[in-house]
Amino acid sequence: MARRFTNKKLVIASHNPGKVREIGELMAPFGVEVVPAGALGLPEPEETGTTFEANAELKALASAKAAKLPALADDSGLVVQALNGDPGIYSARWAGPTKDFAIAMRKVEEALAGKTAQGNHDRRAYFVAALTLAWPDGHTETFRGEVHGALVWPPRGLRGFGYDPMFLADGQSQTFGEMEPDAKHAMSHRARAFKQLVDACFG
């Protein structure tokens, strides 16, 4: 049995305002007040884990212990089968210091083209989101959501963010960069992880 969330306040262990807003909206129906880690002056720990789950856990625990309140963190990325899982937990880093995802997508495509030249035509990929709810006593509950599909080139669509324009989810004709935001949010890796979290800890 997962531990249930019974507090009034929840720290969001993210310094990304978009994520904080999105999580605040998701938590609103449960009467939870969300507090961004930045507003409490909490530092951002280094993401030294080797899995999405480990990074979500270390971020959530660092905030929960420092704030003495439960904290929620996520870690996500794109896993490309033919690239042995790259960019994976380094998905943000592939965009370089300017956070340019046109560069990151091109790097993925170039690596895939290298595989194609060697006879490997596998373009399957999936997005992963790990979500951890941590308490100040060190207890954690972690959930993982995935959405599977294939990578297209050239990228299509101006919506979404990150690798969305080159990701075509199974059964869809539009990339995540072309889809209506609500349609993406209904099927995304993050939505799937959130549903598990809500069912287990907030339901």
Which own/partner contact pairs does 41-46 have at CB distance under 8 Å and 24+ positions apart?
42/11, 42/13, 42/66, 42/67, 44/15
> With CB under 6 A as the contact rule, which of the stretches 1-9, 106-114, 132-140, 155-163 interacts with ligand IMP?
155-163
Using CB under 6 A as the binding rule, whether residue 53 contacts ligand IMP is answered as no
Among positions 77, 145, 149, 155, the unique one binding ligand IMP when judged by CB under 6 A:
77
Rounded Cα distance, 127 and 149, in Å: 9
Backbone angles phi, psi at 92, to 5 degrees: -70, -40
Question: Per 3-state DSSP, what percentage of the chain is helix, strand, and coil (rounded to 5)?
Answer: 40, 20, 35
Active site residue 137: no
Using CB under 6 A as the binding rule, whether residue 141 contacts ligand IMP is answered as no
Rounded Cα distance, 176 and 178, in Å: 5
> With CB under 6 A as the contact rule, which of the stretches 61-69, 116-124, 133-141, 160-168 interacts with ligand IMP?
160-168
- Token pair 């690596």 is at which residue? 111
How far apart are CB 127 and ligand IMP at their closest, in Å? 5
Q: What is the widest separation between alpha-carbon atoms in the chain?
A: 56
How far apart are CB 137 and ligand IMP at their closest, in Å? 25
Among positions 57, 75, 109, 178, the unique one binding ligand IMP when judged by CB under 6 A:
75
Using CB under 6 A as the binding rule, whether residue 91 contacts ligand IMP is answered as yes
Among positions 127, 135, 143, 194, the unique one binding ligand IMP when judged by CB under 6 A:
127
- Token pair 């789950």 is at which residue? 53
Q: Which residues bind ligand IMP (CB under 6 A)?
A: 75-78, 91-92, 127, 160-164, 176, 188
